[in-house]
Amino acid sequence: MIQENFIKLYEHSFRDNWDLPCYTDYGEDQSYTYGEVAQEIAKLHLIFKYCNLRRGDKIAIIGKNNAHWCITFMAAITYGCIVVPILQDFNPNDVHHIVNHSESVFLFTSDHIWESLEEEHLSEIRAVFSLTDFRCLHQRDGETIIRFIKHLDVEMQKTYPEGFQKENVNYTTLSNDKIMMLNYTSGTTGYSKGVMLTGNNLAGNVTFGIRTGLLKKGENVLSFLPLAHAYGCAFDFLTATAVGTHITLLGKVPSPKILMKAFEEVKPNLIITVPLVIEKIYKNVILPTINKRTMKWALNIPLLDGQIYSQIRKKLIDALGGRFKEVIIGGAAMNPEVEEFFHKIKFPFTIGYGMTECAPLISYSPWNEFVPNSSGKVLDIMEARIYRENPKVEVGEIQVRGENVMTGYFKNPDATKEVFTEDGWLRTGDLGTLDEDGNLYIRGRSKTMILSSNGQNIFPEEIEAKLNNLPFVLESLIIERSKKLVALVYADYEALDSLGLNNSENLKAIMDENLKTLNNNVAAYERVYQIQLYPTEFEKTPKRSIKRYLYNSIAES
């Protein structure tokens, strides 16, 4: 068990870093010191207390990265509630499902997301609050929260007559074995799994970040990965807040152009990112330079190549703000060509490995110890083993146990039982190898899950289930082609024939409409690029499951 109490980490941080900058919304005037954040938390605590919220009540948050998102999260856990972060990419049906399944009593949301939700589908919610200004957007019949909020400043004065001081920061005492976060791995209705993370799981990641000096007091970080995702949440936010780092929240789609400008202004001391961002920078900034004819010629001359690589490295480091100690890449597989080039120019990057079920970290090495093609070393608070059904095969499933491993899936004992071995190891669903120094090498996925280039988990069966319900689709298969999702569809030719619609023009119009409908009902990162008609029924196993491996080659054809 991790010695540091997760909640007390933040009680100490808000007191110790009282006057330091804490959260800033990039490009906006909104900025808070640690003391001001503590005061905002105190206001939310008064609302929670007025509403008789109890320990273990769930509070859901959905919206872009901003200071109010962070304040809400902190207010929830320091009060003793369980926080339910929801990715803003999820469509309204998925949000309804997660809010209801998690039994959330409060919802904090961006105003535009609230406009797309339906109150009657959130029957258990007592109140909905805006992440813009914390006003109450909706309250259940009989509630008087709106009236209470109108007099919140008076209540603060009554509660803290001398004004809110650092001595007033006293948070609930809750042991690390209590559930503190429900993180849903997928947003599709009927398939969502709420990962139950304890204070110990979260503290395991945060204290690892503190021990290894990833971030320190007074440093800067730019938060651009979704905070509802375990990776960005653990380091850009939770570790940073625990040590007194200044967090600038991007709150915009992180295109290379926007990111480069933000890096230049914020000058972060650590960069946490997914491969997609780095690969785009490589493609847009580096490739045009090294593909020039004169540059290709120069790179073939000994001694000159080293100087040129050194210049490229400096240009890239400067473009990313020039002050970072390293770039940590995780969430998906890195393009081998990009990794090889970055290693060649001695760029300070490293690749880590984790999953939501481990909150998220499993392995990591600092950039100067990182072994190329690996995913770093297994953490000292974690263990990993390679399970092989066939002992003669080198590659097997990576299985882990240790401080960061979740307790299970919320209200889903069957899925929990399935993901743990009988002797208590978590099945990651990833295939790989482990060397004698503890370095992990990921070789592929044993499950059908597709990992999008920006680190989101995509479960093809869920998209297929929706597609199969659309007109004239008998069955479908989602595959990945050049990092885009493509749907192979075996159409209902018999039904088309009976209606005289079986010609290429009609089929194209029907499938174009199906594609539009499908993409309106899935998350942004699950959108399908193209429907490709398949001439025959897909080959099945005796259990009537499609033999997916037979169609992988189609993805590249």
Q: What is the pLDDT of residues 145-164, one digit of tens each?
A: 999 999 999 999 999 999 99
- Do 240 and 276 lie in a common domain? no
| Residue 432 domain flag | no
Q: How far is CA 162 from CA 38, 167, 198, 270, 307, in A?
A: 16, 11, 36, 39, 62
Question: Per-residue pLDDT for 375 more than 90?
Answer: yes
| Residue 30 domain flag | yes
How big, in percent rounded to 5, are the helix, strand and coil portions of the chain?
40, 25, 40
Strands 408-409 and 194-198: antiparallel
Contact call for residues 125 and 106 (beta carbons, < 8 A): yes
H or E stretch at 146: helix 145-150
Mean pLDDT of 349-357: 95
Lookup: tokens for 266:
């914020």
Question: Per-residue pLDDT for 308 more than 60?
Answer: yes
| Residue 209 domain flag | yes
Name the domain count of the chain. Answer: 3
Q: What is the pLDDT, as a whole number, of residue 444?
A: 66
d(CA 359, CA 205): 7
Q: What is the pLDDT, as a whole number, of residue 206?
A: 98
Mean pLDDT of 366-376: 96
Q: What is the CA radius of gyration of the chain?
A: 25
CATH code assigned at 525:
3.30.300.30
- Do 242 and 133 lie in a common domain? yes
d(CA 78, CA 11): 8
Mean pLDDT of 331-343: 82
Helix or strand or coil: residue 435?
coil
Q: How confident is the model at residue 187 (pLDDT cuts 50, 70, 90)?
A: very low
- Do 233 and 288 lie in a common domain? no
- Do 199 and 293 lie in a common domain? no
Mean pLDDT of 488-505: 88
Q: What is the pLDDT, as a whole number, of residue 186?
A: 59
- Do 41 and 152 lie in a common domain? yes
The least confident of 108-122, 123-137, 388-402, 523-537 is 388-402
Q: What is the pLDDT, as a whole number, of residue 190?
A: 45
CATH code assigned at 129:
3.40.50.980
Q: What is the pLDDT, as a whole number, of residue 145?
A: 97
288 vs 519, residue with greater confidence: 519
| Residue 414 domain flag | no
d(CA 452, CA 467): 19
Mean pLDDT of 321-327: 97
d(CA 277, CA 508): 34
Question: Per-residue pLDDT for 363 more than 90?
Answer: yes
The tens digit of pLDDT for each residue in 43-57 reads 999 999 999 999 999
Strands (E), 121-164: 127-130, 136-139
Q: Is 30 exposed, middle or buried (0-12, 13-18, 19+ CB in 10 A)?
A: middle
Where in the sequence is the domain holding 65, given as residue range(s)? 6-252
Question: Per-residue pLDDT for 542 more than 60?
Answer: no
Q: How confident is the model at residue 287 (pLDDT cuts 50, 70, 90)?
A: confident
